[in-house]
Each structure stands twice: as C-alpha cells, then as structure tokens.
Amino acid sequence: MEINHVTVIGVGAVGAVLASKLTKYLGKENVECLADGERKARYERDGIFLNGEKQDFKFVESSNARESDLIIIATKNLQLNQAMEMMKKACGKKTLILSVLNGIQSEREIAKVYGEENLLYGFVISLNSIHEGKNVLCSDFGTVVFGEKNNAKNERTRALCELFEKSGMRYKNPDDIHFEMWKKFFINTVFNTLSAITRSPYGGFKYEVMQNLARKVGAEFLRVAKAEGITLPETICEDAINMMCHHDSRGKTSMLQDMEAGRKSENDFFCGTIVRLAKSHGISTPYCEFLRDLIEGSESVRGEING
C-alpha cells in the first residue's frame, strides 16, 4: 500500500505543520486542504504562515474534493461534525482516516458515521506553537502518534510510517495506542484546563500551588482511567509537571490561547468527558466538575458581555 494523495481538514497549528511537511514531499497537487466559502477565500487572500514562511497550500472546496488515500482531521473537537460532512467526497472505500484531535472522543464519533474499518487512532504530542495573527510560530513541530484500534502492525501502519518518514514528520506507532492516548488526555485535562483558568503559560507550573492543583485533578483522572481499563503509571503527574517546567516558560496551552482569543474551548471534551465517565462508574470527581463549571461559566459570561 502507498499513500500518494492526502486530504487535510483544519490548518491550525497541527494541520498547518502536517500540510506543510506533506506538501513539500508529495507536491502541491497531491495534498488538498479542504476549506469552504469565506474561509477558503480568506486563506487564499491572506495566506497561512508557519514560522514566518507563507505556505503554498492547495485549498479546495469540499464539493470539489477528490477521493484520497488518507484523510487527516486536524480541526478542534468542536468542528468535528463539520469536518465529517466536508470529507464525504474525499472518502472512498479504501481511504484511511486519521484523527489527530485531542481527547478520546473523536474516533468514537467518526466510527458512528464512517465505520471502524479504515479508521486509525491518533494524536500529536510536543507541538509547541503560538498564534500571532495569521502566523503560527512553532518551536517544535511535534510527533504524530498513531495506531490501529487493535494495535496491529500491518500494511496500513507501515504505509503511514513511510509517509511520515519521507516527509520529515516525527512519528510513533506504539504498541498500545489507547494507553498513549490516555496519557495525552491526562495532560489535556489537567494542565490545559488549569492553564486556561489561571491564564498561566507553561512557566506557571513551577509554582507549588499550581503543582498541587494538578495533583488533585490528576488523582481523580487516574481513578476514572482505571475504571475504564487504562492503568497509567503512578508517576504520570510528577512526570508531566517536570515536563511543563522544562517547556519554554512563555509557551501556552491551546486552551489558554482559545480563551485569550475569545474562542470556545474544548473544555467539554476534557474535564467534561472525565465527569461523564466518572458518573457512569459511580466515581466522585469534585475537582474536575469544579474546573469544568468554571470554564463553562467564564465562557457563558464572556458571551453575555460580548453579546
């Protein structure tokens, strides 16, 4: 199996990095970035800039998309339903679908519409970016982590490894994709949420009060994960705190950047998901519930003020 044509939906930081790497390897004609209406016109007029370099992307209306070997969904969770509608013409019987959205929910939603047969599980780690206007500044392009639902190593995973290898994109095809997804989900739920509420960049996690908050939220997360059949290492919270403290202290989580820009956050897919899963198992998660409600409250008040 070879992957010669790729469709990318969503050209924020993650999507822009992937589209840039793949366009330079496969050529502009073989990487289609789907965008409709005003969004397509704006992208073509203003451009997408990555570290100050204008990207030469091929923007295509979803109605004109051609059948692809691989579809990469790189939107936010909030735009997933729209992305699934846009990809209809690009998705054939053998088209691989790779979602790199945060959390654990997107693959479940995609499977409801497109089935599980050609669906891979995935996400991106260590991509460190800040938006400055239409320019995305990336100090680290990150690593794509992906795998089959049953963790099989097969022709499809080998083809994807080869694609990322030849395009210069770091990648990892782990032995247990679900374990790795929950590790990333832990970071999103604990640190993204706290950073957004406190308006803290990565450097804020050097303070003991922030670290203690992370430990309390993390303890609730681990109980829910265990109930879901995922046993994460006991050291995960301390390891994550150490990682945050060694990032660029001025770097910001995606949720913090969403809050600062006045965009709706992925709060419901982080703490919200943990709260829902906890209730299904009869587990109490007061810290996660409080953080979920704080974000939702602040978004509601912002809407009232700006509305």
Angle formed by the axes of helices 286-306 and 208-227, to 10°?
A: 110
CA angle in degrees (0–180, nearest 5) for 22-25-29? 75
Fold annotation for 6-175:
Rossmann fold (3.40.50)
Listed by start position, the domains of the chain span 6-175, 178-306
Where in the chain does DSSP place strands (E)? 6-9, 31-34, 49-50, 53-54, 58-60, 70-73, 96-99, 119-132, 135-147, 170-172
> Residue 127 is which amino acid?
L
- 178-306 has the same fold as 6-175: no
Asked if residues 100 and 72 have their Cβ atoms less than 8 Å apart, the reply is: yes
Give pLDDT tens digits along the chain (307 positions).
999 999 999 999 999 999 999 999 999 999 999 999 999 999 999 999 999 999 999 999 999 999 999 999 999 999 999 999 999 999 999 999 999 999 999 999 999 999 999 999 999 998 888 877 778 888 889 999 999 999 999 999 999 999 999 999 999 999 999 999 999 999 999 999 999 999 999 999 999 999 999 999 999 999 999 999 999 999 999 999 999 998 888 888 989 999 998 999 999 999 999 999 999 999 999 999 999 999 999 999 886 666 5
Write the DSSP string, 120-174: EEEEEEEEEEEEETTEEEEEEEEEEEEE-TT----HHHHHHHHHHHHHT-EEE--
Distance CA 252, CA 236 (A): 20
145: closest CA among 164, 130, 129? 164
Fold annotation for 178-306:
N-(1-d-carboxylethyl)-l-norvaline Dehydrogenase; domain 2 (1.10.1040)
> Residue 223 is which amino acid?
R
